[in-house]
Structure 1
Amino acid sequence: MESLPTTTTKVERRWRSKPLQTSKPSLLLAFFSCLAWLYVAGRLWQDAENRTLLATLLEKNTSQRPKVLSVEDKLTVLGCKDLERRIVEAEMDLTMAKSQGYLKKNQLQQSGSSSVQLLAVIGVYTGFGSRLKRNVFRGSWMPKGDALRKLEERGVVIRFVIGRSANRGDSLDRNIDEENRSTKDFLILDGHEEAQEELPKKAKFFFSTAVQNWDAEFYVKVDDNIDLDLEGFIGLLEHRRGQNSSYIGCMKSGDVISEEGKPWYEPDWWKFGDEKSYFRHAAGSLLILSKNLAQYININSASLKTYAHDDTSVGSWMMGVQTTYIDDNRLCCGSIRQAKICWDSPSLTVVSNSVSR
């Protein structure tokens, strides 16, 4: 009978010890759960505080600015509206000034008679290897030295027109600069690269530069392989005084060469239709533009399309404006007519052949 309490006591001890062993993992799980809950609750509280702060700032800013900003309001805020207006006005003034023949003070006539309009500026195309040709010109129809200055007093400026070497500042450029210091009869196109394939662009540079430097009634392009009856040519121009929008020369059209590799090949041949014929244009050996047409080239030079040849390029520019075409047979230098003002020069051909050898 006394052993029963002892047995009962052992059973109770076993029963009490088991819950104590299984409760440790539960306590740890509960502890970590509390930590996780506290972390999440803290983040939620912090996010709520941030949202409240941002909402307050947004409400404050929106109360100080208009809800919708127009383009005009934005320009006003940025201080650009007045600047934009002044830029537009300046561009309009510049375009108007160019169209009216405005000349900068440092681009007045090089002849020295800035108060009197010249009759003509004659640009004689030349190249780096054409010094002998230039000397032939200076000894024939083209005056030199004091005679050239006296001709300018009569209102006619003559200049050899040349660009710059592809290797700027090399011996080619230095030789031209040295020759110009001696003769003072060059118009050097600093922005143009002198090359045979760049002749159409040379026409843009020449007319643009000439109209900026001299105020004349006519601007003339002459090739370096012809002779010119200068007095007869001046008489022709005198007769044409006051004829605005005049495009004067030996007018022709001619076939468009579409076969690559042939002489006078035109890469844009497909633009000239099925007949493949050029539009009417003055032959490239000698062509004349009145002042307003030269100004048109100057103003729009950046957007004017050039073709393979300079004469057809000039002719294409004249098609877009109100131009008076004047076909003068006396300017057909290669013809056999007796009454003509220019002609192909055999002496220049001989010089050209000797230079090529």
Structure 2
Amino acid sequence: MDNASRRWRSKPLQTSNPSLIMAFFSCLAWLYVAGRLWQDAENRNILANLLMKNSVRRPKVLTVEDKLMVLGCKDLEKRIVEAEMDLTLAKSQGYLKSQLKQSGSSSDKKLLAVIGVYTGFGSHLKRNVFRGSWMPRGEEALKKLEERGVVIRFVIGRSANRGDSLDRNIDVENRLTKDFLILDGHEEAQEELPKKAKLFFSTALQNWDAEFYVKVDDKIDLDLDGLISLLESRRGQDSAYIGCMKSGDVITEAGRPWYEPEWWKFGDEKSYFRHAGGSLIILSKNLVQYVNINSASLMTYAHDDISVGSWMMGIQATYIDDNRLCCSSSRQDKVCSAA
């Protein structure tokens, strides 16, 4: 009996192991299915949110009225741009009156010319030589010249170290001679000469109303009466760009004299376009107005005469090549010569 009862008791123990294993795998299967169902639900929520956002951002269907409104705005924008271009053209041609300060003029009548003689901080002796030769000396002589319709001034900027002895010396000299046009917004330096041209023409225009504006180097002597006679013969001529016209090779090697950093813009021949030589450049009033209005966007090159020539190429300027303005010319009636 004992053996039989032991065999009877051992049978349930043998049959319980598969049940436990099945139950364990059932739990794993349930967890797996539940996890997949939860993950699918999350994915559906994310996809639904993305679809909702895309539907909000999707462009609306334009009605006929919407399309007409868009086209009307574009047409209005185009007309505004065209009006601005016409306004700039009118200003450049002198059709719009500007409020010119007459601070440098003792008369309300229009002058014949404003002549700016470039100078530098180290050119005090050269200025005194000019004052004793072709240029009037003293305030009274300058006033008499102005009565003839001509204003003449030495043109200079400011030192890189504002207010230093260089600036103070110029201020003292100007108080004595009254013959400077000081460009407070310009830093006087050789490499800044092209920018000096822009600022000179703009400042001269704002201070004096004249037929012509003349830039003169301090490396030449001037026959002032001869220049006045030449300008008198051109009085009333608009868009006049007058000088000793020339061209020349573009220097492409850095370190050489007259090197042009923008050499690659001048084509395969590497030759400058026709322009008035830098010793003496004459512009009529409407061309100076153009420079003044557009000075912020006008490109400058390594040399001031090239820069001025590039500005004139973009407008309908009348080029006047007068070899009386060629300082190296052999003509007896030339108005300038090397100093």
Q: How far is the alpha carbon of 1:242 from its aligned partner? A: 0.9
Letter in 2 for 1:136: V
Aligned pairs (5 A) from 1:180-259: 180-253=174-247
**1:112–1:257 distance in 2 versus 1, CA, 3 Å:** closer
Partner of 2:6: 10
Q: Is structure 2 residue 131 aligned with structure 1 residue 135?
A: no
What residue ranges of structure 2 are gaps of 5+ in the alignment? none
Superposed CA offset, 1:60-106 (max 9, x none): x589x724699x88x98xxx98997898488447624632445764x
Pick aligned residue for 2:60 from 51, 63, 66? 66
- For 2:27, the equivalent position in structure 1 comes to 31
Q: Which has the larger radius of gyration?
A: 1
Equivalent residue for 2:113?
Answer: 120
CA spacing shift, 1:15–1:214, aligned 2, 3 Å? farther
Cα distance, 1:173 vs. partner? 3.4
Residue 45 and residue 13 in structure 1: after superposition, are their counterparts in 2 closer, same or farther (change >3 A)? same
Q: Deviations over 1:209-256 (max 9, x none)?
A: 333443321010111133333334323222211112222233444666
1:188 CA drift (Å): 3.0
Give the AA of the match of 1:18.
Answer: Q
Match of 1:109 in 2: 102
Task: Output the TM-score relative to the length of structure 2.
Answer: 0.74
The count of aligned residue pairs is 332
- Is 1:160 the counterpart of 2:165 in the alignment? no
Please provide the CA RMSD for this pair.
Answer: 4.2
CA offset at residue 17 of structure 1?
0.9
CA deviation vs aligned residue, 1:307-337 (integer Å, no higher than 9, x gap): 5443344344444443333343443334454
CA contact (8 A) 1:151 1:157 kept: yes
Compute the displacement of 1:161 (Å): 1.5
The answer to whether 1:298 aligns with 2:292 is yes
Q: Check conservation: 2:266, 2:272, Cα contact below 8 A.
A: no
Residues 8 and 342 of structure 1: is their aligned pair in 2 closer, same or farther, counting only changes over 3 Å?
Answer: same
- Sort the Cα spacing of 1:42 and 1:226 in 2 relative to 1 into closer, same or farther, 3 A: closer
- How far apart in 2 are the matches of 1:256 and 1:17? 108
Paired letter, 2:103: Q
- Kindly tell me: are residues 44 and 272 of structure 1, through their superposed partners in 2, closer, same or farther at Cα, counting changes over 3 Å? closer
